[in-house]
Amino acid sequence: MEFFSLNGKQVSRIGLGTWAIGGGEWGAVSEDDAVATCRVIFDLGMNLIDVAPIYGHGRSEEIVGKAMREHGRREDFYIATKAGLEWNERGVFSNSEPARLRQEFEDSLRRLRTDYVDLYQIHWPDTTIPVERAAEVMRELLGAGRIRAVGVSNFSVAQMEAFAAIAPVHSNQPPYNIFEREIDVEILPYCERRGIAVLTYSSLCRSLLAGRLTAETPIPEGDIRRLDPKFQQPRFGQYLRAVAGLDAFAQKQFGKRVVHLAVRWILDRPGISAALWGAKRPAQLDAVKEILGWKLDAEAMAEVDRIVTEYVTDPVGPEYLTPGVRS
Ligand code: NAP
């Protein structure tokens, strides 16, 4: 495994993303599979698990808590959880009111069955109040030793700057994958300059880059990908043709598959610390072994760009994931 340093801790450059194991928007996952997925990371040399209260409305944190208890050694895990999203019958909204953040923190500790969080992240900026309000709570938790590092997610450069005036920003978690590179323009160079670790989400573009989907693959009712404009025809066809092109290139050039290329591509981009890999069962992480021991050079990076440009003529970003603004 490759590692990076996050506020003095060694963290694996591939992390398990646990949104899907909470069920809900990704279909049912059995508790045994979910817990086993969190525990298999050690067989692969990983220690990073990303989670959040919103995932399965608390369920993913409970699963991670159960896995830590079964494993027995809390300190083996590097747990990155989040705060700042509320959900109700009307939808999902950013909410970084300090009282809410403090309550969320206690709720997360209870679900995770731990007394500290390795990396605590503000999930989405709350644009109804200054980001400094959230930063004050994070500074307080860090100062008290209840969290070991502070992160943000989905923040702009201006929001990170304002936050950093109050509390350290050790990490940022934006979307990033071969098809979604909006952060290349401003956010990634900023983080690199400031020494802010970058943990990327949707590394497999919500399974598109895993290579198992075809135009005929059924996407069940209620699955988050039904809302994703990439998964709607005719655009879906463009993305699938690009995936086929990338898979052919990965096989010919490296003897690998598109899922391996997708994650290696992220790790070889300048300024990236770790790629989060959403998995529902241990077997989905088998492919992690194939990511290590090779690299994409400039020529390979250029070929990936060429394939994407050739097939994806009507690209769209991950904006549909943006939560609502509370009133
Ligand atoms: P992703 O990693 O892009 O894709 C995950 C999906 O790909 C899995 O649920 C699985 O779906 C499929 N998959 C995984 N491994 C596979 C394999 N070996 N073969 C075939 N299919 C495979 O998904 P993501 O959930 O968007 O991102 C990963 C993590 O990032 C999340 O779990 C979460 O921790 C984090 N995240 C954070 C934010 C944020 O706002 N901060 C937003 C989104 C996600 P199927 O089996 O259904 O195909």
pLDDT tens-place string over residues 2-43: 999 999 999 999 999 999 999 877 778 999 999 999 999 999
Q: Is 178 in the pocket of ligand 1 (CB under 6 A)?
A: no
Mean pLDDT of 132-152: 98
Q: Whole-angstrom Cα distance, residue 50 to residue 288? A: 16
Length of the chain in residues, anyone?
A: 327
Active-site residue set: 55
Whether the CB of 154 sits within 6 Å of ligand 1: yes
CA atoms of 260 and 263, how far apart (whole Å): 6
For residue 224, what pLDDT is reported? 85
CA dihedral 275, 135, 116, 198 (to 10 degrees): 10
| Domain spanning 3-207+259-294, CATH class | alpha beta
pLDDT digits (tens, 9 = 90+) for 95-104: 999 999 999 9
Confidence at residue 6, expressed as pLDDT on a 0 to 100 scale: 97
Is the distance from CB of 70 to CB of 39 less than 8 angstroms?
yes
Answer whether 243's CB lies under 8 Å from 192's CB.
no
Cβ-defined contacts of 283-288 (< 8 Å, 24+): 284/37, 285/16, 285/37, 285/40, 285/41, 285/44, 287/257, 287/259, 287/260, 287/263, 288/14, 288/44, 288/46, 288/263
pLDDT of residue 221: 85
This model's pTM is above 0.95? yes
d(CA 192, CA 298): 19
Q: Whose CA is nearest to atom 44 of ligand 1?
A: 201
Check if 172 has its Cβ closer than 6 Å to any atom of ligand 1.
no
Q: Nearest residue CA, atom 11 of ligand 1? A: 207
Place of tokens 């970084």: 96
**Which residue's C-alpha comes closest to atom 29 of ligand 1?**
17
Coil, helix or strand at residue 160: helix
How does DSSP assign 103-124, residue by residue?
HHHHHHHHHHT-S-BSEEEE-S
Output the residue whose Cα is nearest ligand 1's atom 12: 207
C-beta of 54 in contact with ligand 1 (< 6 A) = no
Question: Is the CB of 94 within 6 Å of ligand 1?
Answer: no
Cα-to-centroid distance, 276 and ligand 1 (Å): 8
Q: Compute, in angstroms, the gap from residue 17 CA to the centroid of ligand 1.
A: 6
Ligand 1 centroid distance, CA of 111 (Å): 22
Distance CA 267, CA 139 (A): 30
